[in-house]
Amino acid sequence: MPMDVTAEVFRLETSTTSYWFRRTRFGHLEHLYYGPRLPVDDDAEPLAHKRTAVIGSSVDYDPGDPLYSLDLLPLEWSGQGYGDFRFSPFEARMPDGVFAADFTYRAHEVLSGAVPPVSLTGAYDGDATLRVTLADEATGVELDLYWTLYEAADVVTRRAVLRNGGTADLTIRRIMSGMVDLPHRDLVVHTFDGGWIKEANRHERPLTYGMHAHGSTTGASSNRHNPGFLLAESTATQDAGWVYGVNLVYIGNHVGVTELSNHDLVRVAVGIHPDRFSWTLTPGESFETPEMVLTVSPDGFNGASHHFHDFVGRHVVRGPWRDRERPVLLNNWEAHFFSFTEPRLLELAKSAKKIGVELFVLDDGWFGARDHDRAGLGDYTVNRKKLPSGLAGFAEKLSRIGLDFGLWFEPEMVNEDSDLFRAHPDWAVRTPGRRTTRGRHQLVLDLCNPAVQDYVIEQVGAVLDSAPITYVKWDMNRHVSDAWSPTLDDQGEFHHRYVQGLHRVLTEIFGPRPHILLESCSSGGNRFDLGMLCHSPQIWASDDTDPIERLKIQDGLSYLYPPSTWGAHVSASPHQQTLRATPLSTRFNVAAFGVLGYEMDLKYLGRLELKELREQVEFYRAHRRTLQFGRFSRVHVPKANKVQWQVVAPDGHEAVTGYYQTLAQASEGFDRLRVVGLDPEGRYVTETRRQYLYLRQFGELVKHILPVALDPDGMVMRTAGRFRNLPDTVERYAASGALLASGVLLRNQFVGTHYNEQTRLLADFGSTLYLTERVTDD
């Protein structure tokens, strides 16, 4: 029974966590506990707030009880104007025209399963839901708070529904999805921030007095601050210490707030960003927030991440692609940009097929006058100069090669130089009488307008039905400014109405076409959030395909989302985003932790490199279920220039570990490989994945490697380099799961003396993948 609920104390339980609160004598909800599971027969009293003396400068809620002050109580929700001076989850001009709201208990009910919002797509398949109805008795305004339990994933979601039970309009200026006051455990806030090509980098900030807010007002969840964040004990490691996780199932403007009060309570709130938000409810109308997601684990960052991974994998991502292995794709964007012809595409497709790719994705530039980014968005009629046999004809040719067909769209946008804009200038988002701003030469289509929604649903749907398309990349390449829609009386509704419109569009396009795998994208990871994951099982994590940058981006994402949710591609080096040169092996070794793709013009690769790609894809496909759906963990390496990731197969029969080095140091110390989470008693063999070194990596040292002395930059050397490479060091260890968890001492790295085949040659940006397989004794 996940809930033990009386009208006084609410005990919510998941497999390993407890979330308790109670009703105070005045009907407010006092937070008691959120942490590792407690025996349900424990009394609530030891956890309750105890105040025995009046505290100076506090406001008494009731003259009969000078010890009751809202500002000092750990709460589950707060109103406005009654003496709680911390960040309030709620601000509204109430039906009586004042900024006062005191939400107190009226009723509660336990409901079975999840009760997702109706105006937004939410998480699904929960175990039980508690609804507590609070009311502001002075006006009759009611607030339903929901807690839904996802027992096996150890997640609790929360959301709020405000109902105007008054007799006049009320206007909401701020309504969070949920809030909670946690005790301060010397917590550090970890946020995932960045910008274009540097998304989801983790940053930490000790919680000190005052408020910290991170969020987005770009109209999307944004690459600036992911909605997900963590609060971790300052001593927490990857595997030990309390870590709380917070996220929001929302695509749009959001804010996450943490505030340490002067009595050491940590208020945590998350919800729609209040900037330029206002929403009027006439009597009887209601407003529902998106869902807040909460988890907690005493097992460090990996513990919290595992809860989130299970939750996302089972209760956010949906449809037939949820558990299905995702195809290895080749995307033609970095190879061609806008400049391609059908023969060029087919040449690339044939090479892709030869290395084992399964899906060919035609990116931007296939429609209308889209030969550059200043024209064509909005006109999804195929460009016959580039694709003379149309999409169906092109798909047919791909199918003969043996490849599935995927297609790029950017349906939320329009160029002024497009037939769509010329026909419907009023469908583009602009504020009348004000300057029009543009991003990437484009305007946003007004998805608040049902006519525009209908148009997008119909247009994209028609293209999808015109050819055997099995994959769509849905892009969105600018922030929303000039927000205004002729369909709204209150422009403060714009951003949320847009998100609701987008949910409708995505549901109506992809609901009836479940065979299509949707990968969403927004200039890379500008919309990497749980709202999008309700529709698209995977998201293009970043336009940055440099693996060393990806070590930060994918690492950051892994705290909140599982690897099956992010696209990761091998691209040409030096990388188009950083000009950094990296080994081909490392590009794969990083992209293998995610949904693998290739994004480069294969015609520029030599025979040896193509062979290496073929082996990469073969390895990936052989271990794909583990790499996409295995248990992902970050393994701490006590050296700043190392990163280690691993995945263990759901049934534990194999594990893949990536060992990465950023900048090499002279005379590196000994490295250890730890493979955690295996059966301690089980017997395993750990072996390096085959990869290669290229002669050009050695410079003048090549003289010591080859039997003849050659000019390292000469013609003979360059020719030799095209036909000969060297196998990278092979290591093989047989060991128990217990030994592997404690660590295998690896061979030393190159230390400046001489080359031999036994030495690990990582240098700058080198890496190795280790495959660990269970062996039986017989």
CA pair distance 523, 413, nearest whole angstrom: 13
Candidate list 310, 475, 529, 544, residue with the active-site label:
475
What is the x/- site pattern for ligand GLA, positions 396-425, by CB under 6 A? ------------x-----------------
Tokens 């708070």 label which residue? 145
Complex with ligand GLA: residue 235 or 341, whichever CB lies closer = 341
* In the complex, minimum distance from the CB of residue 524 to ligand GLA, in angstroms, rounded to a whole number: 5
# residues contacting ligand GLA (CB under 6 A): 11
Question: Considering the rule CB under 6 A, would residue 76 count as an interface residue with ligand GLA?
Answer: no
CA pair distance 485, 445, nearest whole angstrom: 10
* In the complex, minimum distance from the CB of residue 628 to ligand GLA, in angstroms, rounded to a whole number: 20
Chain centroid offset of residue 302 CA: 16
475 is known as an active-site residue = yes
Complex with ligand GLA: residue 76 or 363, whichever CB lies closer = 363
The CA-based diameter of the chain, rounded to the nearest angstrom, is: 96
What is the x/- site pattern for ligand GLA, positions 436-475, by CB under 6 A? ---------------------------------------x
Candidate list 379, 543, 555, 671, residue with the active-site label:
543
| From 68-76, 508-516, 518-526, 607-615, span contacting ligand GLA (CB under 6 A) | 518-526
Which of 543, 668, 671, 728: binder of ligand GLA (CB under 6 A)? 543
CA pair distance 337, 32, nearest whole angstrom: 56
* In the complex, minimum distance from the CB of residue 329 to ligand GLA, in angstroms, rounded to a whole number: 12
| From 166-174, 413-421, 521-529, 636-644, span contacting ligand GLA (CB under 6 A) | 521-529
Burial environment of residue 105 by CB neighbours within 10 A (0 to 12, 13 to 18, 19 or more): middle
Nearest residue to 759 via CA among 724, 733, 728, 737: 728
| From 136-144, 418-426, 520-528, 769-777, span contacting ligand GLA (CB under 6 A) | 520-528
* In the complex, minimum distance from the CB of residue 153 to ligand GLA, in angstroms, rounded to a whole number: 30
DSSP state of 657: E
Q: Which residues pair with 288 in a beta bridge?
A: 161
| From 246-254, 519-527, 580-588, 736-744, span contacting ligand GLA (CB under 6 A) | 519-527
* Strand (E) or helix (H) holding 715: helix 715-723
* In the complex, minimum distance from the CB of residue 542 to ligand GLA, in angstroms, rounded to a whole number: 8
> Which amino acid, residue 21?
F
* In the complex, minimum distance from the CB of residue 692 to ligand GLA, in angstroms, rounded to a whole number: 29
What is the x/- site pattern for ligand GLA, positions 305-344, by CB under 6 A? ----------------------------x-----------
CB 127 within 8 Å of CB 113: yes
What is the x/- site pattern for ligand GLA, positions 339-378, by CB under 6 A? ------------------------xx--------------
Burial environment of residue 699 by CB neighbours within 10 A (0 to 12, 13 to 18, 19 or more): exposed
Q: How many CA atoms lie within 13 A of 242 on its CB side?
A: 17
Nearest residue to 224 via CA among 551, 524, 567: 524
| Distance spanning both ends of the chain, measured CA to CA | 44
| Residue 289 backbone phi and psi in degrees, to 5 | -90, 160
What is the x/- site pattern for ligand GLA, positions 711-740, by CB under 6 A? ------------------------------
Which of 357, 521, 568, 648: binder of ligand GLA (CB under 6 A)? 521
State whether residue 28 is helix, strand or coil.
Answer: coil
Label each residue of 476-489 as H, E or C. Answer: CCCCCCCCCCCCCC
Sequence-distant (6+) residues with CB within 8 A of 421 are 378, 414, 415, 427, 428, 443
543 is known as an active-site residue = yes
H-assigned helices in 243-312: 300-311
Token pair, residue 673, equals 């490989």
What is the x/- site pattern for ligand GLA, positions 472-511, by CB under 6 A? ---x-x----------------------------------
H-assigned helices in 368-449: 390-401, 419-423
Sequence-distant (6+) residues with CB within 8 A of 87 are 179, 211, 257, 259, 267, 269
Residue nearest to ligand GLA (CB): 364
* In the complex, minimum distance from the CB of residue 526 to ligand GLA, in angstroms, rounded to a whole number: 8
* In the complex, minimum distance from the CB of residue 196 to ligand GLA, in angstroms, rounded to a whole number: 8
Active-site residue set: 475, 543
Chain positions contacting ligand GLA, by CB under 6 A: 333, 363-364, 408, 475, 477, 521, 523-524, 540, 543
